[in-house]
Amino acid sequence: MANKRKFDTCFFERYAQVLLETLLGPDYADLLNFDRPDLQTIDKRLGIEVTRAMNESKDAANNLLKEMAGMTPRNTETSEYWQQVQATGYGYGLPGMQYIGHQEYEYWSLALPLQRILTSKIEKLGKGFYGRFGTYGLFVFCRDLLANDQVEAAVEYALSLQNNLDLRYQTLYLAQTDRLYVCDLTDNRLYQGMTDRIVSYHIPEEQRREFFLKAVLQESEKEPTFQREEVRD
């Protein structure tokens, strides 16, 4: 079924699906790109809404523009490779540079702070906006680096918002370029420490490159022939 998967619009939804399947296993292999929520299984077993969060400030917006304007490739990469990266309109997750493509810029420019995103998405789910699924997940790409206490605070905040809701997210996924936090929101057991709810997965550089290449696949499912020099010891 994977070779028939079709993602019509969003690089980030493709990236999220590839990341989840690779790090967490086959339960995420049959996710398809629809709307409300963004990733769904045909049998309605699982629905995952994909969004993004970034601190709302003038400095953050200026940094986006600076990153969009230029990149800093490592000397192990060919100029042809980076030209091909630029042509995709994206750069998320790729090691060795600070760069935002023209397609990616619009995505991040509309981002809200994490707490506001959690409030909005949990309210929508509680009102039935995402339909009926056996299990719900919320996947958030986080532009800002998160410390452990910030992840714990996000989990605690989500639990408080979901208290007494009939429809609720069972899992919160907080994604940074090099790390995924998988957070258990299945209930409001206050006696359970926040750290027991959170599992962290490191994403090495080569895996990030793999995710990027898979996320920019066209509908033909043919992988771009990016040329890259061999790294020599």
Residue 202 lies inside a defined structural domain of this protein: yes
Strands 179-184 and 171-176: antiparallel
Q: Which domain holds residue 209?
A: 2-55+114-214
Residue 71 lies inside a defined structural domain of this protein: yes
Beta bridge partners of 201: 180
Residues 51, 124, single domain; the answer is yes
Residues 11, 88, single domain; the answer is no
Is the pTM of the predicted complex or chain greater than 0.85?
no
Residue 224 lies inside a defined structural domain of this protein: no
pLDDT tens digits for range 66-118:
554 544 555 445 567 667 777 777 878 877 656 677 777 778 877 889 999 99
Residue 219's pLDDT band, with cuts at 50, 70 and 90, is: very low
Residues 137, 172, single domain; the answer is yes
Q: What's the total number of domains in the chain?
A: 2
- 3-state helix, strand and coil shares in percent for the chain, rounded to the nearest 5: 40, 15, 45
pLDDT tens digits for range 193-215:
777 899 999 999 889 988 988 88
pLDDT score at 142? 92
46 neighbors 21 (Cβ within 8 angstroms):
no
Residue 185 lies inside a defined structural domain of this protein: yes
Helices then strands, each counted (H, E), the chain: 7, 7
Range picked from 106-110, 125-129, 220-224 for highest mean pLDDT: 125-129
Domain boundary among 43, 72, 106: 106
Residues 118, 84, single domain; the answer is no
pLDDT tens digits for range 2-33:
444 443 448 899 999 999 999 999 999 999 98
pLDDT score at 145? 84
Helix (H) or strand (E) run with residue 51 in it: strand 46-53
Residue 228 lies inside a defined structural domain of this protein: no
Residue 73 lies inside a defined structural domain of this protein: yes
Residue 219 lies inside a defined structural domain of this protein: no
Residues 145, 122, single domain; the answer is yes
